[in-house]
C-alpha cells in the first residue's frame, strides 16, 4: 500500500502542477433555471413538476450568449481556468449529447453551448473544465429522494425500481465518455456530488475514473465521486482503492488550515465560492461580495496552498450579470499589479501576521496588509531575514530599518487600506 500510495501522490503532484500555479478560476452555473431566476435548485425547493418545468425548456433562447465576452471578462479578471456546467441536477444538457433529447441543441438556442464555451476560452489561453452533475432529477431511472436535499420525484415516469438504476449509470458514464471524446482536450472534470450511500462504487467510480484516465490521462478530477457536497467536498482520502480525485473541493468555506489527507499530507484543494448567495442566476439576490472581499478570499486560499473557483451565474439571455462583471473588473485591476503574489505562490515559511496574510514563492515573501495599523506594522520574525522591501503596486522602496507605520505606505495605499497592499521581500538565499 505504501508504494502504491506514494506513486499515486507523485502522479497527482505532477498532474496538478499547473493547477497549483494558476490558483484562480471561473465557475459558471448556467441552464434552464436561469429563466425562473431563483437559483439552480428552484425545481427541487419549489417541487416543480416535470410538466411545469418543461416550459423553461420550450422557452430557453439565450440570444445574447457570447462566450467570447465571457472569456474576455475571465481573462481581464486574471482567471487562469474556467469550469462550465455541462449538466446540472435538473438533467438539462448544455452539450449535444446523443443519449438524450433534453439538451440545448433541441431548444430555441439550437447551439452546442459547451462547444462554443470551450472554443472561446481556449482562444483566450484559459484552461477549460466541465462540471457534470451525477445527480439527475430528469432521468427516469435515477432514484428519487424526498428529503430536504432532494426533490420529491415529480417525474411520474420514474419507475421507482432500483433494478433500473444501472440504466442511469450507463447513461451517466456514456455522457462522460461523450464529453471526453467529442470536445478536445479538457483540463478538469468537476463531478457533483455524492451523498449518503450514493458515493464511490454506487456510481461505479472506479470504472468511471479508469475510463476517464484512459481517454484523457492528464485531466484533473475533483473529489466528489467520493466527497459529499454537504461537507463541501472537503473530505479527502488518498486511499488508492478509493478514487478521491486530484483535488478537494470545499464549498463556500476556506478550510482553516488548508486540506490534508488522512495521513496529514497536504493535498491540492480549491474553494468554490459564489459572488452573491446563489450559484445559478437569482435576479432578486443582491448580496454581492465586494471586490476587496473577493481579493482577500483569494489571498487567504493561496496563503493556505489552495485555489479559488469564483462563480458567475449567467442570465437566461446568456449574459453574465453586470454586478458580477463590475466585481471581476476591479479584481482584475488589482491582480494586474499584484498577480505576482498569487500565481505560483503558496503558504509562507512564516506564521500569519496579525495585520494580514503572507504568500510566498521561492525566496520571495509577499505581505498582504489588510488591517489598518495605527502604530508600526509589526514585522516580528522578519527582522534580519529580509533584505529589502518593495511595494508591488509601483516598485517603490520601503525602508525596514525604521519603525513601520502607515505613513511609509503610499498615500493611496493607506487610503485604500481596505484593499491588500503587497510588499516583496527577497529573502536570504534559502540554505
Q: Which residues bind ligand FHN (CB under 6 A)?
A: 40-41, 192-193, 229, 251, 272, 279
User: φ, ψ for residue 349 (rounded to 5)?
Assistant: -80, -5
Identify which of residues 40 and 246 has a Cβ nearer to ligand FHN in the complex.
Answer: 40
Identify which of residues 27 and 102 has a Cβ nearer to ligand FHN in the complex.
Answer: 27
CB 64 to ligand FHN: min, Å? 23
Q: Burial, 238: exposed, middle or buried (Cβ in 10 Å; 0-12, 13-18, 19+)?
A: middle
| Strand arrangement of the beta sheet that strand 81-87 belongs to | 220-221, 188-192, 127-133, 81-87, 24-28, 307-312, 270-273
CB 277 to ligand FHN: min, Å? 12
**Measured between alpha carbons, how far apart are the two ends of the chain, in Å?**
34
Identify which of residues 220 and 272 has a Cβ nearer to ligand FHN in the complex.
Answer: 272
CB 224 to ligand FHN: min, Å? 8
Cell matching residue 345: 505562490
Cα–Cα distance, 323 to 60 (Å, whole number): 23
Cell matching residue 32: 434552464
Identify which of residues 234 and 341 has a Cβ nearer to ligand FHN in the complex.
Answer: 234
Cα–Cα distance, 226 to 249 (Å, whole number): 11
Identify the bridge partners of residue 311 per DSSP, sorted by sequence position.
27
CB 275 to ligand FHN: min, Å? 13
Residue tagged 443519449 (cell numbers): 99
Identify which of residues 272 and 302 has a Cβ nearer to ligand FHN in the complex.
Answer: 272
Identify which of residues 15 and 89 has a Cβ nearer to ligand FHN in the complex.
Answer: 89
Cα R_g (the chain), whole angstroms: 23
Task: Compute, in degrees rounded to 10, the torsion defined by CA atoms 245, 251, 253, 256.
Answer: -10
Identify which of residues 308 and 348 has a Cβ nearer to ligand FHN in the complex.
Answer: 308
Cα–Cα distance, 119 to 135 (Å, whole number): 27
Identify which of residues 129 and 353 has a Cβ nearer to ligand FHN in the complex.
Answer: 129
CB 26 to ligand FHN: min, Å? 13
CB 149 to ligand FHN: min, Å? 8
CB 192 to ligand FHN: min, Å? 5
Instruction: Give the residue from 226, 227, 232, 278 showing the smallest Cα distance to 255.
Output: 232
Alpha-carbon distances of 186 from 81, 115, 126, 211, 355, rounded to whole Å = 11, 11, 11, 14, 40
Cβ-proximal residue to ligand FHN, closest one:
229
CB 109 to ligand FHN: min, Å? 21
Amino acid at each position: 500500500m505504501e508504494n502504491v500510495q506514494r506513486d499515486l501522490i507523485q502522479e497527482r503532484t505532477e498532474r496538478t502542477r499547473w493547477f497549483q500555479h494558476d490558483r484562480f478560476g471561473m465557475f459558471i452555473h448556467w441552464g434552464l433555471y436561469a429563466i425562473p431566476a431563483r437559483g439552480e435548485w428552484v425545481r427541487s425547493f419549489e417541487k416543480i413538476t416535470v410538466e411545469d418545468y418543461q416550459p423553461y425548456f420550450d422557452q430557453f433562447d439565450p440570444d445574447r450568449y457570447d462566450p467570447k465576452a465571457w472569456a474576455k471578462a475571465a481573462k481581464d479578471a486574471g482567471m487562469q481556468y474556467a469550469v462550465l456546467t455541462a449538466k446540472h441536477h435538473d438533467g438539462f444538457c448544455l452539450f449535444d449529447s446523443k443519449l438524450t433529447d433534453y439538451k440545448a441543441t433541441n431548444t430555441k438556442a439550437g447551439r452546442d453551448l459547451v462547444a462554443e464555451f470551450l472554443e472561446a476560452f481556449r482562444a483566450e489561453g484559459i484552461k477549460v473544465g466541465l462540471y457534470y452533475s451525477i445527480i439527475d432529477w430528469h432521468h427516469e431511472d435515477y432514484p428519487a429522494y424526498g428529503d430536504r436535499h432532494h426533490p420529491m420525484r415529480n417525474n411520474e415516469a420514474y419507475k421507482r425500481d432500483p433494478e433500473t438504476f444501472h440504466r442511469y449509470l450507463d447513461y451517466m458514464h456514456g455522457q462522460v465518455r461523450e464529453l471526453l471524446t467529442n470536445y478536445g482536450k479538457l483540463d478538469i472534470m468537476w463531478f457533483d456530488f455524492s451523498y449518503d450511500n450514493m458515493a464511490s462504487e454506487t456510481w461505479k467510480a472506479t470504472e468511471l475514473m479508469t475510463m476517464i484516465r484512459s481517454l484523457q490521462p492528464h485531466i484533473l478530477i475533483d473529489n466528489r465521486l467520493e466527497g459529499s457536497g454537504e461537507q463541501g467536498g472537503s473530505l479527502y482520502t488518498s486511499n488508492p482503492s478509493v478514487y478521491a480525485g486530484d483535488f478537494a473541493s470545499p464549498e463556500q468555506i476556506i478550510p482553516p488550515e488548508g486540506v490534508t489527507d488522512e495521513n496529514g499530507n497536504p493535498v491540492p484543494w480549491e474553494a468554490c465560492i459564489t459572488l452573491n448567495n446563489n450559484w445559478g442566476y437569482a435576479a432578486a439576490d443582491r448580496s454581492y461580495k465586494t471586490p476587496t472581499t473577493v481579493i482577500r478570499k483569494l489571498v487567504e486560499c493561496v496563503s493556505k496552498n489552495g485555489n479559488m473557483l469564483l462563480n458567475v451565474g449567467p442570465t437566461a439571455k446568456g449574459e453574465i450579470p453586470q454586478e458580477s462583471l463590475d466585481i471581476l473588473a476591479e479584481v482584475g485591476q488589482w491582480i494586474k499589479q499584484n498577480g505576482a503574489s498569487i500565481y505560483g505562490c503558496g503558504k509562507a515559511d512564516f506564521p500569519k501576521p496579525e495585520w494580514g496574510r503572507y504568500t510566498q514563492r521561492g525566496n520571495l515573501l509577499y505581505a498582504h496588509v489588510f488591517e489598518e495599523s495605527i502604530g508600526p506594522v509589526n514585522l516580528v520574525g522578519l527582522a534580519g531575514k529580509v533584505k529589502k522591501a518593495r511595494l508591488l503596486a509601483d516598485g517603490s522602496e520601503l525602508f525596514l530599518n525604521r519603525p513601520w507605520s502607515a505613513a511609509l505606505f503610499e498615500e493611496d495605499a493607506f487610503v485604500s487600506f481596505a484593499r491588500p497592499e503587497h510588499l516583496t521581500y527577497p529573502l536570504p538565499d534559502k540554505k
